[in-house]
């Protein structure tokens, strides 16, 4: 058991975090997407502590975080032209590239795959921790496996208190949904997980973009998938979430007709008054960025309120809305009602 400390992101705190990481400890750090649970990617024992603290399946690979392109040396076997183009456009930022793995990188990081996910986060404290420690940091989202990703230091504490020594508190995450995961191919990419770097934004670079079928549909636990994370039940609060598609009046009618005990509605700002059950706002209807930033916190609040059933308003899928929809669908374990 650890006596988990939560510290801010002053220069001194970042130096402390860097020291912990150099000693082979795990530290939760803020990024622009969600909080990550970081460890030295080059130290097998340190990386194993991540899997243990999260209760993460051993076959689910981790993303390695870097602060500059020089760090790629020893992590990837090659950095093809398409990757260079993507890095120039989106790094630092919420894009994880799946690239051929270097033999020097311990296999525990990539869960035995011959590829590795790399990302340069767009967050001052995250970049400074990497720079100060001089280490590439393996970091999955800092939640207990299966729970919604943490977008505030309090969420990390809720999940990992006693299991990790240190949390760097950088306040709420700006983006709120995890990075876009993209398999890099010659002249094209395949999106394995949608995020704030959207299909449309990547296409603007003149690259062909495909979305992996696993993004939009349920997979069997034993399915062969490119991104192992996609097969696990994800982002799920304790409550049963039902994703309800349709206009607001139909949504209200459906919720009010099915207002069982413990029912809550997850909806947009200004909509609480149309339902007879308590409402939790997760963003503004026409601002997908606000939905991305608010979704995971709203799911966690539903649990805190003791929600048994959550009827969720479906987001539009334009822009980062596609990532919001993808996470919602998983929180709902693919239970969708179309009105
Ligand atoms: O925004 C983010 O990406 C956050 C912050 C902390 O950077 N990290 C994050 O990591 O969401 P995690 O481990 O929770 O999700 C990583 C996803 C998983 O679905 C995993 O299966 C997939 O990326 N992934 C990692 N390495 C892969 C690889 N070599 N091939 C295919 N998928 C990979
Ligand atoms: Mg995760």
117 Cβ inside 6 Å of ligand 1: yes
Q: pTM of this prediction? A: 0.97
139 Cβ inside 6 Å of ligand 1: yes
38 Cβ inside 6 Å of ligand 1: no
DSSP letter for each residue of 74-136: TTBS---HHHHHHHHHH-SSSEEEEEEBPTTS-TTTTTT-SEEEEE----HHHHHHHHHHT--
Query: Best substitution site from 37, 96, 197, 320 to test ligand 1's pocket, by max atoms within 8 Å of Cβ?
Result: 96
> Contacts from 237-240 at CB under 8 Å and sequence distance 24+?
237/147, 237/148, 237/299, 237/300, 237/302, 237/303, 237/307, 237/310, 237/331, 238/303, 238/307, 239/264, 239/302, 239/303, 239/307, 239/308, 239/309, 239/310, 240/308, 240/309, 240/310, 240/335
Report the candidate in 196, 300, 286 with the shortest Cα–Cα distance to residue 248: 286
284 Cβ inside 6 Å of ligand 1: no
Residues of the chain whose pLDDT is less than 50? none
Query: Best substitution site from 30, 61, 146 to test ligand 1's pocket, by max atoms within 8 Å of Cβ?
Result: 61
151 Cβ inside 6 Å of ligand 1: no
> Can you say whether the dihedral through the CA atoms of 125, 109, 41, 181 is positive or negative?
negative
Residue closest by Cα to atom 17 of ligand 1: 229
Angle at 14 between CA 2 and CA 87, to 5 degrees: 115
Residue closest by Cα to atom 32 of ligand 1: 227
143 Cβ inside 6 Å of ligand 1: no
Residue 233's pLDDT is what? 62
Ligand 1 centroid vs 336 CA: distance in angstroms?
Answer: 25
Instruction: Give the tens place of pLDDT for each residue, 71-102.
Output: 999 999 999 999 999 999 999 999 999 999 99
- Residue 333 structure tokens: 């374990």
Residue 261's pLDDT is what? 95
Radius of gyration for the alpha carbons in the chain, expressed in angstroms and rounded: 20
């Amino acid at each position: 058991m650890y006596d988990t400390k939560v510290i801010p992101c002053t220069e001194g705190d970042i130096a402390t975090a860097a020291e912990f990481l150099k000693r082979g400890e795990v530290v939760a750090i803020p990024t622009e997407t969600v909080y990550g649970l970081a460890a030295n990617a080059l130290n097998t024992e340190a990386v194993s502590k991540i899997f243990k603290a999260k209760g993460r399946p051993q076959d689910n690979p981790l993303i390695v975080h870097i602060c500059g392109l020089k760090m790629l040396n020893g992590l990837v076997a090659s950095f093809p032209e398409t990757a260079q183009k993507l890095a120039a456009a989106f790094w630092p930022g919420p894009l994880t590239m799946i690239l051929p793995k270097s033999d020097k990188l311990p296999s525990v990081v990539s869960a035995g795959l011959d590829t590795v996910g790399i990302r340069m986060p767009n967050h001052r404290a995250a970049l400074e921790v990497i720079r100060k420690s001089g280490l590439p940091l393996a970091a999955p989202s800092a939640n207990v496996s299966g729970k919604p990703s943490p977008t505030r230091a309090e969420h990390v504490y809720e999940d990992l208190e006693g299991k990790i020594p240190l949390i760097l508190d950088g306040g709420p995450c700006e983006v709120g949904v995890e990075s876009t995961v993209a398999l890099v191919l010659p002249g094209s990419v395949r999106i394995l997980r949608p995020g704030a770097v959207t299909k449309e934004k990547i296409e603007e670079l003149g690259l062909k973009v495909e979305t992996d079928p696993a993004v939009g549909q349920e997979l069997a636990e034993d399915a062969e998938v490119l991104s192992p994370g996609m097969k696990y039940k994800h982002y799920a609060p304790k409550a049963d979430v039902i994703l309800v598609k349709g206009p607001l009046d139909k949504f209200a009618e459906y919720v009010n007709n099915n207002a069982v005990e413990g029912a809550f509605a997850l909806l947009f700002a200004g909509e609480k008054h149309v339902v007879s059950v308590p409402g939790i706002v997760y963003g503004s209807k026409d601002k997908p960025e606000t939905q991305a930033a608010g979704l995971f916190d709203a799911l966690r609040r539903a649990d805190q309120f003791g929600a048994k059933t959550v009827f969720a308003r479906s987001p539009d899928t334009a822009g980062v809305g596609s990532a919001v929809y993808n996470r919602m669908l998983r929180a709902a374990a693919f239970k969708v009602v179309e009105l």
